[in-house]
Amino acid sequence: MLRLVLSGATTLRRDGWSDAPVAIAAGRFAENDAPNADLSGYRLLPGIVDLHGDGFERHVAPRRGALRETRAGLFATEAELAANGITTGVLAQFWSWEGGLRGPDFAEALCADWAEMRSAVATDLRMQLRLETHMIDDYSRVARIAARHGIDYLVFNDHLQHDRLEEGRRPKQMTGQALKSGRSPDAHFELMLGLHARGPEVAAASAALASDLSSRGVTLGSHDDATAEERAAWRARGATIAEFPETRVAAEGARAGGDGIVLGAPNVVRGASHKGNVSAVDLVAAGLCDALASDYHYPAPLAAVARIVSLGVLDWTAAWRLVSEGPARLLGLADRGCIADGLRADLVILDDDDRVAGTIAGGRVSYLRGDAAERLIAAR
């Protein structure tokens, strides 16, 4: 663990940029008389808190049906997170009828491997379960796994194509989904029809599960809300985070209800949603965003901040808050998100091209390259 003073750099603190040194000891920001590392020419910013990312899927299941490497894949994921300035990373694991790497058995195995390896890395790796709402028979199993492994974040999803199922038609892309799940198209269709038929049970069952989980300190959210009414219904069940609202009215409903709003950083980088939903940049400009998440691409949070600043939507202080202090607050992590005495020593070192030159998580180096590496090593 580092005991070091970082001087010469420009540091982003709560109230803006500062030239004051940053001291680290015992995993915290704390004044001390440790050796000095000159980081002139670099900028120091709070470590990125990524509260929803499923980019790890390519690491833990690099080829469908051919290779599954959950433990090695998780270590590879941590390295990628660190290289992108992420010091707290939430792995958004599906619990879905889609099967394969998004199915219940894979999710349970991944959670077990994650629980065993997470203490061996510097990055604070956390787990989120993305539960498909209509899989009611799995609710008790999900609750047991969350309790067993200390999973403290769950989001309710519903990706069934209800309009087509209601008409007895096969959903779009169903054959491909069936193959991924290991089922025949007919068996997969029957499964989805059966899940769709349980719609009337979802409200009461999900409310009961949410009550159980929230009583044990699990943070709850809903995913892809399309209307204010949808958001209000989930809020009433205790799901107070709105992940990736699909429309402005849903985001406005979340804000009016005091909910946290999470948007996808790739949406900001692209300038639009890949699914045709509301523009994240527009919502950020309207003050309808508390956190930007990597979603499917770990470099996206840093790139999204740079784009928001370049467009003049927010300055660095306000934009960076969306990837540090904002998500930390939504997760109830009061010990991080800012560079301030007493807080967890999480920071990212940026060069003058806005590239990550180093990452420190909990006072431990998780990533370091080039000249910044030479300067820190020389100071030791």
Q: What is the mean pLDDT of residues 98-126?
A: 95
Residue 68: pLDDT band with limits 50, 70, 90: low
Same domain as 194, residue 135: yes
User: Does the pLDDT at position 292 exceed 70?
Assistant: yes
Q: What's the mean pLDDT when you consider all of the chain? A: 95
**Residue 97 maps to which CATH number?**
3.20.20.140
Q: Are residues 330 and 359 in the same domain?
A: no
Q: Please state the rounded mean pLDDT for residues 147-168.
A: 96
**pLDDT at residue 333 tops 90:** yes
Q: At 79, which helix (H) or strand (E)?
A: helix 70-83
| Average pLDDT of the residues in 112-130 | 97
- Same domain (yes/no): 220, 356: no
* Surface-to-core class of residue 356, CB atoms within 10 Å of its CB (0-12 exposed, 13-18 middle, 19+ buried): buried
Over residues 204-214, the mean pLDDT reads: 97
Q: Are residues 266 and 343 both part of a single domain?
A: no
CB atoms near residue 380 (< 10 Å): 10
Please check whether residues 379 and 276 belong to one and the same domain: no
| Range of lowest pLDDT (171-180, 200-209, 314-323, 350-359) | 171-180
Domains contained in the chain, number: 2
Q: Are residues 233 and 325 in the same domain?
A: yes
Taking 60 as the threshold, does the pLDDT of residue 66 lie above it?
A: no
Quick one: pLDDT at residue 67?
54
> What range defines the domain where residue 346 resides?
1-46+337-380
Residue 278: predicted pLDDT = 86
- Mean of pLDDT values over 222-230: 96
Nearest to 206 by CA among 145, 135, 128: 135
Examine the domain organization and report whether 264 and 232 are in the same domain: yes
> Does residue 219 register a pLDDT over 60?
yes
Q: What is the pLDDT of residue 195?
A: 97
Quick one: 316 and 342 in the same domain? no
Q: b/e per residue, 295-320, with b = 16+ CB within 10 A?
A: bbbbbbbbbbbbbbbeeebbebeebb
Identify the weakest region by mean pLDDT among 8-22, 59-73, 95-109.
59-73
**In this structure, are 346 and 238 located in the same domain?**
no
My answer on whether 292 and 366 are in the same domain is no
Residues 300 and 322 in one domain: yes
Give the pLDDT score at 109. 94
Q: What's the rounded mean pLDDT across residues 81-94?
A: 98
Instruction: Write out pLDDT tens, residues 347-363.
Output: 999 999 999 999 999 99
CATH number of residue 18's parent domain:
2.30.40.10
State the pLDDT at residue 29: 97
Same domain, 84 and 21: no
Q: At residue 274, does pLDDT exceed 90?
A: no
Among 301, 321, 336, which residue terminates a domain? Answer: 336
Q: Which amino acid, 269? A: V
